[in-house]
Structure 1
Amino acid sequence: MAEEGGNQRYYRAPCPGCGAPVEFRSAQSAFAVCPYCQSTVVRQGETLARIGKMAELFDDFSPLQLFAAGRIQNQPFTIVGRLQYSHPGGRWTEWIAALDGDRTGILSEDNGAYVFALPFELQRAAPPPGDLRVGATSAFNGQSYTVSSNEQVALLSAQGELPHLPELGRPFPMVELRNDKGLVLSIDYGTEPPGAYLGRSVQLEDLQLTGLRDESAKDEKGRAFNCPNCGAPVTVNLADSKSITCGSCNSIIDLSQGIGGELKHAEQDEPVRPLIAIGSMGQLQGAQWQVVGFQHRMGVEPGDDEHFGWNEYLLYNKKRGFSFLVDAEDGWSMVKPTTGAPVMAENGSSATYLGKRYTQQYAYNAETTYVAGEFYWQVERGQKTFNRDFASGNALLSMERSANELTWSSGSKLDSGLVSAAFKLDDKKDMFVRGDALPVSAASGLGCGTIILIAIVIIVLLVILSTCSGSSGGSRSYGGSYGGYSSGGGHK
């Protein structure tokens, strides 16, 4: 039965499984899941045929829900469906947005933020997924893109009405490409021919959303559990957490497959105490941030045997998502994953993003050695990546590459005094001072002769270093990971 609802024509027919009404608000929706009996139905004209039963949804505690409405580029849209996928790093959700009855978009997670994408017609056939290697460049419709991830994914569950429905549990490739203009191109090999979507980063607050999930209505059941190693109570505070550490025994607990199943864990020895405590609140860059995670990492330049270390604090703000506060030898910085992918020179000496050119400072192998708190990606000790750090004045850019993912992040340097004041740790501000402080400013009480002597020593050291090999040295700049292993795609 077709009915008129305001300006929107929609279809309603009885569920072939239980007889309850099933509605189709979008003309592009061919499938739906009955909200009463979870039957999966396909629309055939104005009748429905049952093709199976949908698996139970994994509660991702998202603020989004069916029938929430908003605006994108001054166009109204309504969320009508949800698809939940799994990949080696965990799970993620895509929300189906009906724009005007004839078009549907996808609102999906992107490193704690969101990407809104629309169907994109490729002017050439999508290449085989094996040809799109992570880090490689490829052109589509006259635009150059860099492959940022190439994963095998599978549909876990679905809700509402859907324009397409991959076979439940069957793995298929999903490839994401990004460019230096901030565009995200997703190629979905779960259909034939493969489907493509092109999107940009969005903030939920900018979408003017109404009908969001009521915070008080969240079912918190299952968000607290006993540590599988020591039995101590563990509470998950963030909706998107895929890893958490036990506060009692420091074990890393894998949440990527949900709390309901058997929890995998890894024990950690020799705990590292963060300078800024987990749970601390701080005001930085015009927003209130909470420290929710911490990791210590070690790096070494290829061909060198001298290691260096640095710390990264994962910060969370409800409206801005996640950022990283990085504590390195030469100073503090604050960065967050980029939506697009900068263009890097072939020799790696520079990178360009959003019209700005950055010069490479360091290239090195990195390894995570200790973690604490919660993380929106599946974090483990021993995770290894290859990193490059770039700079343009105080502006920073970083690349992190693993086997299946290429992640970029951007941000800027921070004064150490600003960081200590932000977290109300002025009494410990001397502990925040790093190599960014000039010798004179760090010792204002020194005499002129002492200052000259320091200058001579620095000059001698520079001469000695200049005679060394072409290595950029044992010190690294600005921080490294910035969200590596963060499943950095619009679909994750």
Structure 2
Amino acid sequence: MSERAYRAACPGCGAPVEFRSAQSAYAVCSYCQSTVVRDGETLSRIGKMAEVFDDHSPLQLMATGRWRARAFTVVGRLQYRSPDGPWTEWYLLFDDGATAFLSEDNGAYVLALPAEIERELPPPETLRVGATTAIDGKSFDVSSNEQVALVSAQGELPKLPPLNQPFAMVELRSSDGEVLSLDYGARPVVAASGRSILLDELELKGLRDEVASEYKARQFSCPNCGAPVEQQLATTKSLTCRACNALINVDTGIGGELRHALQDEPVEPLIPLGSTGTLQGAKWKVVGYQHRMGWEPDDDDEQFGWDEYLLYEPKRGFIFLVDSTEGWSVVKPTTGAPSLSPNGQSAVYLGAGYKLKYSYKAMTNYVAGEFYWPVERGQRTFNRDFEKGTSVLSMEETQRERTWSLGSQIQAESVAKAFGLEGKKDQFKRGDAGPTAAKGAGMGCGCLTIFLIIFIIIILLALLKACEDGTTSSGSGSSRSSGGSFGGYSSGGGHK
């Protein structure tokens, strides 16, 4: 690699600027943040780059690793912002001169290599979220189409879209787990093909403080009540104040403007936040909790509810533990997008077929803890659950994005044992384990049951009073379960 490296003085401050890859056309001076472009052996200053914001990632420039017996070095960093919050892409240079990007995806990582597309790519406005398209003979689902902007960069870079100027970024996903990213901020359009990967698979060395699994909590004052709030995870974009339950948006960083939303009637999760439990051979920490409501598309009055616990493990990322009256499930967002049949009645993912069981609308009405996507008031999704035996494939869709997750059943006793709550195992019992968010799911013997009992008592009292008054009265015939008027992104959140 040293034989290919090129070093020259920064035209802004005179400090050395090094290019390790012949494919790198740009670099950001680490001393004065000048953005320089390389033309042969000449460097020209074309502006000044904003300093990178501290995302507390374990990765850093000059970290090294191996993938499929090939060594690489982290040589560049790009930070973007979308309507769903910021994310980072790391530029990797292999010893053989090849390059790749390591980026965040649904609380995990995707390693992407440059892709050569034979056909001319369509304009971004024609790629509607939820539609399917063929790229070089392969079918893809359009999972997201957003306007993003580069906000900062570091190190050497193969591309450099204009700073803070929006451009289209489209992500296509296939039923075999491939992610095809189309960057319309470059001409011609830059395509990259990637798949999900665990950090352990990359044999990384030289990480920040040499510790990838630890993160020192950051503290700030709650913008609503002033109480101290601790952010435990590096990837957190939303969290709640334990003192007043306010929902706080931190996707611009703690130094940025903190937006918050009040939450009334706090819900006490069955598994306390901060608990640790062993599932699927790994030790997970409960970092977030949300209660969600669902209803049929043509019936806003018939509602059902379920709970979702967000679990975190440093090397594996995030999964969800879902609690419904039909059972407990372990759910993980998929990297690829299942192939949906034209009539929407079935889906295929990784060679397995699933049949549609439920279609419904959903929203989140209470959250607690930390989340790796920005939870927003009023955000709703349209959901479909596809079932195959004891597994459920779930689709959640907004106007900007479609996400998929795959869940498998887990026995209630196993959940209680995993989190050391055997003494409360009776509270974990549910009906037969079923879909992650199936129709009819609820809070068991919790708020919904109490609400219905109170409702029935009120109706009986009203009928008795009507009889006493010699009049006739009629009830509404239906009722809403406990639920609020705001929600957030579904399990899996945004793609970044």
Task: Give the superposed CA RMSD.
Answer: 2.1
* 2:370 is aligned with 1:374: yes
Q: Distance in 2 between matches of 1:57 and 1:101?
A: 29
1:394 deviates by 1.4
Alignment of 1:22-421 (within 5 A): 22-100=17-95, 102-214=97-209, 223-304=218-299, 305-421=301-417
Name the structure 2 match of 1:486: 493
Deviates further, 260-269 or 219-228: 219-228
| Closer, same or farther: CA 484–427 of 1 in aligned 2, 3 Å | closer
* Cα offsets for 1:431-460 (capped at 9, x unmatched): 11111179xxxxxxxxxxxxxxxxxxxxxx
8 Å CA contact 1:229–1:265 kept in 2: the answer is yes
The amino acid across from 1:487 in the alignment is: G
8 Å CA contact 2:212–2:314 kept in 1: the answer is no
Alignment of 1:448-467 (within 5 A): none
The amino acid across from 2:318 in the alignment is: F
Q: Distance in 2 between matches of 1:318 and 1:221?
A: 13
1:253 deviates by 0.4
Q: Distance in 1 between matches of 2:348 and 2:239?
A: 35
8 Å CA contact 2:290–2:364 kept in 1: the answer is yes
The amino acid across from 1:118 in the alignment is: L
1:222 deviates by 9.0
The amino acid across from 2:249 in the alignment is: D
The amino acid across from 1:48 in the alignment is: L
8 Å CA contact 2:217–2:232 kept in 1: the answer is no
| Closer, same or farther: CA 178–423 of 1 in aligned 2, 3 Å | same
Q: Distance in 1 between matches of 2:204 and 2:409?
A: 34
The amino acid across from 1:41 in the alignment is: V
8 Å CA contact 1:296–1:369 kept in 2: the answer is yes
Q: Is the partner of 2:5 in helix, strand or coil?
A: strand
Q: Is the partner of 2:424 in helix, strand or coil?
A: helix
8 Å CA contact 2:380–2:488 kept in 1: the answer is no
1:262 deviates by 1.8
8 Å CA contact 1:387–1:481 kept in 2: the answer is no
Q: Is the partner of 1:214 in helix, strand or coil?
A: helix
The amino acid across from 1:83 in the alignment is: L
1:209 deviates by 1.1
1:350 deviates by 1.4
8 Å CA contact 2:380–2:489 kept in 1: the answer is no
Name the structure 2 match of 1:429: 425
Q: Distance in 2 between matches of 1:273 and 1:125?
A: 53
Q: Distance in 2 between matches of 1:71 and 1:483?
A: 34
Unaligned runs of 5+ in 2: 435-480, 482-486
8 Å CA contact 1:370–1:381 kept in 2: the answer is no
Q: Distance in 2 between matches of 1:65 and 1:482?
A: 29
8 Å CA contact 2:376–2:489 kept in 1: the answer is no
State how many pairs are aligned: 444
8 Å CA contact 1:388–1:399 kept in 2: the answer is yes
| Closer, same or farther: CA 421–220 of 1 in aligned 2, 3 Å | closer
Q: Distance in 1 between matches of 2:98 and 2:37?
A: 19
* Cα offsets for 1:149-197 (capped at 9, x unmatched): 0000000000000001000000000000000110000000001111100
1:382 deviates by 3.0
Name the structure 2 match of 1:12: 7
The amino acid across from 2:399 in the alignment is: A
Q: Distance in 2 between matches of 1:287 and 1:335?
A: 15
* Cα offsets for 1:274-294 (capped at 9, x unmatched): 000110001111110000000
Q: Distance in 1 between matches of 2:424 and 2:177?
A: 39
Q: Is the partner of 1:9 in helix, strand or coil?
A: coil
The amino acid across from 2:290 in the alignment is: Q
TM-score, normalising length from structure 2?
0.86
8 Å CA contact 1:293–1:314 kept in 2: the answer is yes
TM-score, normalising length from structure 1?
0.87
